[in-house]
Amino acid sequence: MSTSPLRVAVIGGGIGGAATAAALLQRGMDVRLYEQATALTEVGAGVAIQPNGVRMLRRLGLGDELIRSGARWIDPQFRRPDGSYAAVMWPPELAGQIEFYGMHRADLLAMFVDRLPADIVKAGHRCIGFEQDDEQAVITFANGLRTTADVVIAADGIHSTLQQFVVAPSAPLYSGSVAYRGVIPAAGVSWPPGAMRNWLGAGKHFLVFPVRAGLLINYVGFVTTDEPMKESWSARGDPSALAREFAGWDPMVETIIAQLKTAFRWGLFDREPLASWTRGRLTLLGDAAHPMLPHLGQGANQAIEDAVALATVLSHADRKSAPRALLIYEQLRRERTAGVQRMSRVSGARYDASSGDLHSRDRKLDAQPQERAWVWNYDADAEAEAAAASL
């Protein structure tokens, strides 16, 4: 094996790309992270770091930062629209074993970026071209830069530019629902510390959990609609429209909505799983590979799993074996992420059921810890170490 470190170019400076750069750096690789925006930033919204993601953050040495910046869920409940109890997310006897943390997306991104030396982050670089041969890959940017690498990782999101160099893109699939989301101060509504609430009604639901060490709460109102929607995280929504959708619900829901001056609104789309993620020295990661609906709360967790798994496999490779290592990464990740995509759809349909027996839905909610154990208990790092043995 060559003694010189692999040269890896990561395209996209969101959570998946920054996590990948941090994981590769930890494994001693020569990393450059390219982002089209002028700075690495995230929009103001929350994300749930679940047990499988928590495990990977600790593996990256970020456990203390997670505890400091996150807000642990200690009382997660499903409620009916009137506020009456429906189910718990996990039973009390598992509370010590199942770790969930609400995090502001900007805080999560900053955890990774803070691990990166400034000279490896290249902002203001929009990737417009890719080519490769047996020896190396070449990336072209809109600012005129052309650079070479042994491996290129496309972490450039759901509208990935590089995906076309691997596989024909999957068409966007509209889920039939939109989401209003944002964050507000927890103190303004006297939010109980550590509480997660997911109020489930007919064709809509309202999710709230704490972020930023409990100082803020993240809210998301999901509403089914056949109105044509833009696939955007940053489109402005009308708080009064959200208030109309949830009028007459639990007073806490109405109180939260009454606090809003602005809200973001986005149509929920995913894609069918891709037939391939890898071609030669180029592979896909995160939303570029497996965009999923938010109803399982696994999007960021799966991107972090991708990052650690890929870094682990590549740490066993050299320039010659790198393409084979990327195929091992794909084989390791593709079936798992497709299963999570499918479960995210099922969860959304369950939460937004338009009719049916409430007790039947509550029984399914009670069974979710067993249903999701295969997601939560997975160790992407250990699985990648085992898979990399074949290199």
Helix (H, G, I), strand (E, B) or coil at 170: coil
Per-residue tokens: 168:
């024909």
Mean pLDDT lowest among 37-51, 80-94, 111-125: 37-51
Rounded to 5 degrees, what are φ and ψ at 329?
-55, -45
What is the domain range of residue 310?
7-171+271-388
Residue 255 falls within a domain, yes or no?
no
Which single residue is written with the structure tokens 């109309």?
244
Predicted confidence band at 1 (pLDDT cuts at 50, 70, 90)? very low
Residue 293 falls within a domain, yes or no?
yes
Residue 178 and residue 231 in contact, taking contact as beta carbons nearer than 8 Å: no
Residue 220 falls within a domain, yes or no?
no
Residue 256 falls within a domain, yes or no?
no
Residue 322 falls within a domain, yes or no?
yes
Residue 325 and residue 391 in contact, taking contact as beta carbons nearer than 8 Å: yes
pLDDT in tens, 219-230: 999 999 877 666
Torsion of the alpha carbons at 304, 308, 313 and 318, rounded to the nearest 10: 100
Element (H, E) at 367: none
Residue 335 falls within a domain, yes or no?
yes
Say which CATH number the domain at 381 has: 3.50.50.60
Residue 130 falls within a domain, yes or no?
yes
**pTM passes above 0.85:** yes
Selection from 173, 200, 213 nearest residue 72 by Cα: 213
Element (H, E) at 355: none
How far apart are the C-alpha atoms of 162 and 327, rounded to whole Å?
Answer: 17
Residue 261 falls within a domain, yes or no?
no
pLDDT in tens, 327-353: 999 999 999 999 999 999 999 999 988
Torsion of the alpha carbons at 328, 329, 333 and 335, rounded to the nearest 10: -30
The more confident residue out of 255 and 3 is 255
Q: Look at the chain and report how many structural domains it folds into.
A: 1
Cα atoms in the 13 Å half-sphere on the side-chain side of 256: 30
